[in-house]
Each structure stands twice: as structure tokens, then as C-alpha cells.
């Protein structure tokens, strides 16, 4: 056991695709088949994750379908406020793009969610990579990769400034003195930058957490730099302990230039853990789901990762063709580079590649018994490859039910995971400091 980490516990998030993480999850007989239009389903699985003492639940979102396909059907981030009313401790994290929103809108939404939930809101900051989103917002082409991040950096700075519009003690609400708030504790942002001009102030009081927790998922060079600058949680596709350790060291090391301590950020790679009471049971579940992947769906998933590059005319049992350089300006680089590495280093066919990718949507797949799953998670945690994991249930609700019933007790028995929540806010449970307002004087 690593003595330095013997007193630490890993952090866990649960990422909810509608019917589950596996692309064929909807064909599992126990999956909630109408999950994309059933928000009660999300409320119930959020409650299950809270019973398992997860730090947070997370739903991604998009502001377009993928050329009429159902991949981006609603995952209900707009109902986070309702989920707050049926839970008491679990963090509520949702994606919102900086490409097709305005800072004031996002600042209001997440500040409001933080108040409604009593300090449990988290924002996953993304830069859209889906070309179809551009068509819904008056653009004929998408922002280039680096331009998206330039806009995102300024966007986040504006949002954080708006969250500081009111000091924590600005609202006096004193009937005796007939004073509702102290005007000296209200601040105008007056931001004028390359992408945004925002006066402020925000018409929502300072959030209970000071700032809702900021998550980010970029693994490219600029993505890592942005994460080091402001992220407090990072979701990343990592497939080997060595690569995870390199990412972990690199990201934590970059934080020094922004005067941020390494403990101000939690690295939480995606984990597609398929658990059974025995390894055989887990393997049978995985094989069933794999058998249901339709080739057209597999190819579509790869095409999305390659910025729309069409693979349908290539031999499924042949090698991956050379991918044009333009793809890397349009796609999410972490998954794209992983796919190309699989193809080149392992000599996988297109069919083998989409089978691997579709099983976990680019995340690492782990199949086994509760003790085997826990062994692997412990090795990555003790080895400083992670601070925790973002668990992707293969199918819902069953995949989450099994993880909570089988793996969580195993982690708890090893002292790797909490038995009870440490606090009432997402920051407290993740061990993150509450940020002071920029206007506080010392």
C-alpha cells in the first residue's frame, strides 16, 4: 500500500447515457427502453447512485441530433432541478457548451441549480464538436478546434466573474433597519473581451458553493492546458495505467503555472465496468451486448469521432484507412487518437475497432467479478493514475444496480471509498476548497 495515499479515498461519478453506455444497451431485456423520453428513469437511477454514495451523477447534452440519428436524444439535463428535490447529497453535473451559449445564460442556470440543490451543482465545460450544432445557430461551419478553446477560456472567466456579482453577505434582509441588501456588496463585471462583452451583474445571489464545481473533458494539448487553468474535475479516456499516470503527472504539473495546488483538481477517467457475481456472468453479459451491435451503428460512431469522415465504403474486415489531417481540427482528439493507435499498433480491422469503441464509447472496458473490478480500480488509484473514476453503466438501470450492490461494498471494505458522505455540498464531498470572491480584500 502506498503510504502517502493510505488515508485517501477515491471519488466516483456516474455517467448516464439514456439506456446505458453500450451502444446496444437498449436491446438488453432489462434496460429502460424509453429512457430518452422518461425523466422519472433518471430520477430513480440518480437516487440509486446516491445510495451508493457516489460523488456525482453526470449527464451529457448536445444542441443537435447527429443528422437525424437518435444518438443525441435528450438526457434531461434541463431537469436537474427536479433531481435536486428527490436527492440530498449527490452532486448534479451537466454538460453545457461554450460554443453555442452565452456566458450570462450559463451563469444563471448553474447558479440557480446550486441554490436549488443546496450546493451540489457541477458544470462540465465543453466545446462542441458536432457539426450539426452549427446549423442550428446560424453558422455554416463549425468553430475550429483551437478557436473553440479560445472562446471557452474567456467564456469560463466571464461566468466565474458573474458568480461573484454579489458578496456572500450582500443580502441583509433586516426588517428592523428596513435594509434588504448592502449596495456596496454588489459588483458590476464590465467585461470587454475578444468574444464577449458582459456588463453584469448576475441577477442570482452568489451560489452556496461560491462557484459550482467546474469539470472539463479535453485531453488534447490545449485541452490539458485549459484543464490545468480552471478545471476542478477532469473526465478523460485512459486505457492503460502507464498512459493514465503520464496524463495525471502532466496535468497536475501544469497547474503550478496558474498558482493552483494539485489537490484542487480531481482526475476521473471513464470506466466501463461490467460486473457479474462471477467473471463468467460478466463475460456473458458483455458478449450478449456485443452481439447486438449493428454494423451501421458502429460505423456511425466511428464517423462521429472522425469529424464526419465516411467509412461505409471500406471493407469492414480490412484495415482502417488513412484519416485526413482535417479530422483532427473537427473531432475530440483524445478518442480519435486512441482509435488510430488501436488500428496501427494492434492491427485491428474496422469491425474490431467499432466493436471495441461501441462497447464503451471510447472509455476503458473492465469485465469481471466484484473483487477483480475492485483490484483494478485500486491499482490505478494507488498508482497515482487517477483520483477516482467516472463509471459508465453498460445498461440501465441494471448495470448501476449491480455496481452499487457488488463493487461499492468491496471498495468500502478496503477503505477505498466512503461509507457516508463527508458533507452536504459537492465541493465538500470531493475535498475541494470553496473559492473566495474576487472582490474579497485581505
Domain ranges of the chain: 7-430
Q: Which fold has domain 7-430?
A: TIM Barrel (3.20.20)
Choice among 73-82, 223-232, 264-273, 384-393 with the minimum mean pLDDT: 73-82
Q: Give pTM, 2 decimals.
A: 0.90
Coil, helix or strand at residue 15: strand
Please report, rounded to a whole number, the percentage of residues in the chain having pLDDT higher than 70: 92
* Strand pairing class (197-198; 191-192): antiparallel
What average pLDDT does this structure show over 221-250?
A: 95
Choice among 183-192, 332-341, 408-417 with the minimum mean pLDDT: 332-341
What average pLDDT does this structure show over 172-187?
A: 95
Which residue in the block uniquely carries the three cell numbers 438526457?
75
- Confidence (pLDDT) at 3: 46
For 244, residues 6+ apart whose C-beta sits below 8 A from its C-beta are 238, 269, 380, 385, 386
Q: Can you tell me the distance from the alpha carbon of 369 to that of 409, in angstroms, rounded to the nearest whole number?
A: 13
pLDDT > 80? residue 82: yes
Sorting pLDDT into bands at 50, 70 and 90, what band is 68?
very low
Sorting pLDDT into bands at 50, 70 and 90, what band is 392?
very high
- Confidence (pLDDT) at 327: 59
- Confidence (pLDDT) at 70: 46
Sorting pLDDT into bands at 50, 70 and 90, what band is 66?
low
For 223, residues 6+ apart whose C-beta sits below 8 A from its C-beta are 149, 216, 217, 333, 334
pLDDT > 70? residue 333: no
What average pLDDT does this structure show over 30-44?
A: 90
Q: Can you tell me the distance from the alpha carbon of 383 to that of 370, in angstroms, rounded to the nearest whole number?
A: 20
What average pLDDT does this structure show over 78-91?
A: 93
* Pure H helices in 164-294: 221-230, 241-254, 279-291
Highest mean pLDDT among 5-19, 161-175, 289-303: 161-175
Sorting pLDDT into bands at 50, 70 and 90, what band is 77?
low
Amino acid at each position: 500500500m502506498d503510504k502517502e495515499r493510505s488515508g485517501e479515498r477515491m471519488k466516483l461519478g456516474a455517467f448516464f447515457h439514456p439506456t446505458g453506455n453500450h451502444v446496444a444497451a437498449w436491446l438488453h431485456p432489462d434496460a429502460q427502453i424509453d429512457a430518452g423520453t422518461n425523466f422519472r428513469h433518471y430520477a430513480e437511477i440518480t437516487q440509486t447512485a446516491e445510495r451508493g454514495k457516489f460523488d456525482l451523477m453526470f449527464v451529457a447534452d448536445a444542441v443537435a441530433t447527429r443528422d437525424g440519428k437518435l444518438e443525441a436524444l435528450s438526457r434531461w439535463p434541463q431537469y436537474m432541478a427536479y433531481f435536486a428535490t428527490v436527492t440530498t447529497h449527490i452532486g448534479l453535473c451537466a454538460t453545457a457548451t461554450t460554443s453555442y451559449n452565452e456566458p450570462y445564460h450559463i451563469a444563471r442556470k448553474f447558479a440557480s441549480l446550486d441554490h436549488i440543490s443546496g450546493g451540489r451543482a457541477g458544470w462540465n465545460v465543453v466545446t462542441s464538436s458536432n457539426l450539426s450544432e452549427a446549423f442550428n445557430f446560424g453558422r455554416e461551419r463549425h468553430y475550429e478546434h483551437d478557436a473553440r478553446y479560445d472562446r471557452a477560456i474567456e467564456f469560463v472567466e466571464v461566468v466565474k466573474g458573474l458568480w461573484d456579482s454579489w458578496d456572500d453577505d450582500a443580502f441583509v434582509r433586516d426588517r428592523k433597519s428596513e435594509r434588504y441588501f448592502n449596495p456596496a456588496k454588489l459588483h458590476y463585471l464590465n467585461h470587454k473581451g475578444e468574444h464577449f462583452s458582459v456588463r453584469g451583474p448576475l441577477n442570482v445571489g452568489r451560489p452556496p458553493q461560491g462557484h459550482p464545481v467546474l469539470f472539463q473533458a479535453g485531453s488534447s494539448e490545449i485541452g490539458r492546458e485549459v484543464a490545468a487553468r480552471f478545471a476542478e474535475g477532469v473526465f478523460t479516456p485512459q486505457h492503460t495505467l502507464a498512459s493514465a499516470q503520464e496524463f495525471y503527472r502532466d496535468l497536475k504539473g501544469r497547474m503550478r503555472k496558474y498558482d493552483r495546488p494539485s489537490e484542487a483538481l480531481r482526475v476521473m477517467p471513464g470506466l466501463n465496468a461490467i460486473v457479474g457475481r462471477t467473471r463468467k456472468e460478466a463475460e456473458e453479459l458483455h458478449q450478449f451486448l456485443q452481439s447486438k451491435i449493428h454494423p451501421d451503428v458502429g460505423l456511425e460512431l466511428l464517423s462521429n469521432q472522425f469529424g464526419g469522415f465516411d467509412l461505409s465504403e471500406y471493407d469492414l474486415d480490412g484495415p482502417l484507412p488513412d484519416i485526413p489531417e482535417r479530422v483532427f481540427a473537427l473531432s475530440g482528439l483524445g478518442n480519435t487518437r486512441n482509435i488510430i493507435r488501436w488500428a496501427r499498433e494492434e492491427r485491428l480491422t474496422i469491425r474490431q475497432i467499432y466493436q471495441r469503441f461501441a462497447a464503451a464509447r471510447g472509455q476503458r472496458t473492465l469485465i469481471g467479478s466484484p473483487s477483480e473490478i475492485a483490484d483494478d480500480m485500486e491499482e490505478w488509484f494507488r498508482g497515482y493514475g487517477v483520483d477516482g473514476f467516472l463509471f459508465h453503466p453498460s445498461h440501465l438501470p441494471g448495470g448501476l444496480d449491480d455496481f452499487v450492490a457488488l463493487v461499492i461494498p468491496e471498495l468500502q471494505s478496503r477503505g477505498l471509498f466512503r461509507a457516508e458522505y463527508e458533507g452536504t455540498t459537492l465541493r465538500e464531498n470531493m475535498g475541494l476548497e470553496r473559492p473566495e470572491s474576487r472582490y474579497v480584500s485581505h
